[in-house]
């Protein structure tokens, strides 16, 4: 039986949720505000919140100095490509682990996840050398493969969790109706797991979009995504905080908008199966 919530408690919870939300969002808000300041205003002490002369100069400078659209396009291709490829590989893998598990399934899952604990720099040289041999340095294709491999354990884990919530009897019924394995996965399992798959896709797209180790180390000009775009405005000798903030705002804007519009889908997918 659901417990009654008093209006006072409800208000308190709402206020608390807003406070936490604002706290988490504040660094992004501050970055956006700083992007509209001059460099002198950006470092002013005490900090200026809204009472400054708003300027678009930093955006103009960033636009003039860098080919933003090229970086953006690379980010879309790399993040999108690695996510789609990852899901194509992970759906059958997660199906096998969820519906026909072996004695070693749990161990395999844990082992897969443990690869995420390896510091990326530990395998930089082998992967760099491999990329040279295969001619993949500074190519979007190379990065799609690397980011897919990096995020694959998470994709498999998430899909495995969602698939486990789907009753096996439904798949059995499909089989009895003569569905082949491919049809079972494509026409029965996938439609039922759409919320889970959607949230997996979104989360991994965000992870791939934000990835800043491999994307910086394996690219130069042609395949450089928005992470390289931001890195080009950071400097330990010179105060370019306003320009850096403008570049950061331009880099996070697409993913922020995507997250905003898909938040219902994301939350639904992440809580899928949480309440039975």
Residues that bind other proteins (CB under 8 A): 38-40, 43-45, 65, 124-125, 128-129, 131-132, 137-138, 216-217, 220-221, 224, 228, 231-240
CB nearer to other proteins: pick between 243 and 249: 243
CB nearer to other proteins: pick between 135 and 168: 135
CB nearer to other proteins: pick between 125 and 260: 125
Residues 190 and 170 sit within 8 Å (Cβ to Cβ): no
Sign of CA dihedral 202, 206, 211, 215: positive
Residue 125 Cβ, how far from other proteins at the closest point, in Å? 7
Residue 264 Cβ, how far from other proteins at the closest point, in Å? 37
> What b-and-e string marks burial along 79-90, b requiring 16 or more CB atoms within 10 Å of the CB?
bebbbebbbeeb
CB nearer to other proteins: pick between 84 and 216: 216
Residue 82 Cβ, how far from other proteins at the closest point, in Å? 21
Paired tokens of 10: 């409800």
CB nearer to other proteins: pick between 23 and 220: 220
- Residue from 166, 113, 167, 159 nearest 269 by CA: 159
Residues 76 and 251 sit within 8 Å (Cβ to Cβ): no
Residue 39 Cβ, how far from other proteins at the closest point, in Å? 6
Sign of CA dihedral 31, 35, 39, 40: negative
Residue 227 Cβ, how far from other proteins at the closest point, in Å? 10
Please, is 46 exposed, middle or buried when counting C-beta atoms within 10 Å of its C-beta (0-12, 13-18, 19+)?
A: exposed
């Amino acid at each position: 039986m659901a417990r009654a919530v008093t209006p006072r408690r409800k208000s308190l919870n709402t206020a608390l949720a807003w406070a936490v939300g604002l706290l988490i969002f504040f660094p992004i808000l501050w970055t956006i505000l700083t992007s509209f300041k001059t460099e002198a205003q950006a470092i002013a002490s005490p900090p200026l919140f809204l009472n400054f002369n708003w300027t678009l100069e930093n955006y103009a400078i960033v636009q003039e100095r860098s080919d933003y659209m090229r970086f953006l396009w690379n980010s879309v291709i790399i993040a999108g490509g690695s996510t789609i490829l990852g899901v194509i590989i992970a759906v059958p893998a997660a199906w096998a682990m969820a519906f026909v598990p072996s004695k070693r399934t749990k161990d395999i899952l844990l082992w897969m996840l443990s690869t995420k604990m390896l510091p990326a720099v530990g395998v930089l040289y082998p992967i760099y050398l491999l990329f040279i041999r295969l001619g993949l340095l500074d190519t979007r294709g190379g990065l799609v493969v690397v980011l897919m491999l990096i995020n694959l354990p998470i994709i498999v884990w998430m899909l495995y969790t969602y698939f486990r919530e789907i009753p096996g009897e439904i798949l059995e019924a499909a089989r009895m109706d003569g569905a082949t394995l491919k049809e079972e996965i494509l026409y029965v399992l996938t439609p039922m797991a759409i919320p889970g798959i959607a949230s997996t896709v979104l989360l991994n797209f965000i992870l791939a979009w934000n990835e800043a180790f491999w994307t910086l180390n394996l690219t130069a000009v042609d395949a450089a995504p928005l992470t390289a775009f931001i890195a080009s405005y950071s400097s330990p000798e010179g105060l370019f905080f306003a320009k850096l903030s403008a570049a950061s705002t331009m880099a996070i804007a697409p993913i922020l908008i995507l997250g905003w519009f898909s938040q219902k889908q994301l939350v639904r997918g992440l809580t899928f199966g949480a309440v039975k």
